[in-house]
Amino acid sequence: MSRALQATLVDSLLSRRRAAPAGLAQAGAVLFISALTALAAQVSFSIPFTQVPFTLQPMVVLMGGLALGPLMGMSSQVVYLAAGVVGLPVFAFDPSLPPGILRLLGPTGGYLLAYPFAAFLTGYLGARGFDRRYATSVLAMAAGLLVIYASGVSWLAWLALLGGQSAAIGLGAALAAGFYPFVLGDAVKLLFAAGVVPGLWKLFGRRAG
């Protein structure tokens, strides 16, 4: 059953504040999530048996999508990737991974390229009321996380490049390097993060739809 389009959390908050034009306020919200994604990338560490680092980015991507809605959520991640492409230090630091636009072609490129689509899907569900309750927030964020993993593992398995040469490792090895070590931790983080947006709805006195 389809759900009617509803205001997202950011829509609701911006509608209460008329100090700045709506477009400018929306742009500010998009840039805030972009900057938060870049900041989350700096909270990272390498795992010896894989070139995929552990970062906090996926949760920021998914919460941002849930709060911003599909178009602004996707835009926040497009801005983030564009910043990385032009050489700003927004990607996770890892000397074994290429900088700038080459990062999008490397072993972690599939995860990064999935961020706009994951944010869009999570935001699409959020704009249909999935952001109002914890259980549905979990479902919306899990759907977005699935997009990130599907893209990241597929890229690592078959399309990754490093130093101008193929770094693809096949599906079995890609699952071992890019899915199994992270999925449990991401699931735990998601269970905590999924309460943030519904909690903010309650904090600002909006009834769940």
Give per-residue pLDDT as tens, 33-61: 999 999 999 999 888 889 999 999 999 99
pLDDT score of 64: 97
**Distance (Å, rounded) from C-alpha 15 to C-alpha 4?**
19
d(CA 16, CA 4): 22
Q: Is 129 part of any domain?
A: yes
Question: Which of the four pLDDT bands, split at 50, 70 and 90, describes residue 2?
Answer: low
Please check the confidence at residue 21 and state whether its pLDDT lies above 60: yes
Residue 20 is predicted with a pLDDT of 62
Domain assignment present for 208 = no
Would you state the structure tokens that stand for residue 21, as one six-digit string? 């034009």
Say if CB 153 and CB 174 are below 8 A apart: yes
| CA neighbor of 122 nearest in space, from 73, 187, 80, 185 | 73
Three-state SS across 148-205? HHHHHHHHHHHCCEECCEECCCCHHHHHHHHCHHHHHHHHHHHHHHCCHHHHHHHHCC
Can you give the CATH number for the domain in which 149 is found? 1.10.1760.20
Question: Is 185 part of a structural domain of the chain?
Answer: yes
Task: Please tell me the predicted confidence (pLDDT) of residue 205.
Answer: 58
For residues 160 and 169, the answer to whether their CB atoms sit within 8 Å is yes
Task: Tell which residue, 153, 165, 164, 193, has the closest CA to residue 58.
Answer: 193
Residue 1 lies in a domain: no
Residue 140 located in a structural domain: yes
Other residues' Cβ atoms within 10 Å of the Cβ of residue 18: 9
Q: Is 164 a domain residue?
A: yes
| 186 C-beta neighbours (distance < 10 Å), count | 21
For the stretch 70-129, pLDDT in tens is: 999 999 999 999 999 999 999 998 888 888 999 999 999 999 999 999 999 999 999 999
pTM: 0.94
Please state, in angstroms and as integers, the Cα–Cα distance from residue 48 to each residue in 17, 57, 172, 177, following that order: 48, 20, 18, 10
Confidence grade of residue 15 (pLDDT, cut at 50, 70, 90): confident
pLDDT by residue (tens digit) across 187-206? 999 999 999 999 999 988 55
Residue 55 lies in a domain: yes
4 part of a folded domain: no
Per-residue pLDDT at 168: 96
Number of domains, the chain = 1
- pLDDT at res. 47: 86
Residue span of the structural domain in which 156 resides? 9-203
Q: Which residues pair with 47 in a beta bridge?
A: 50
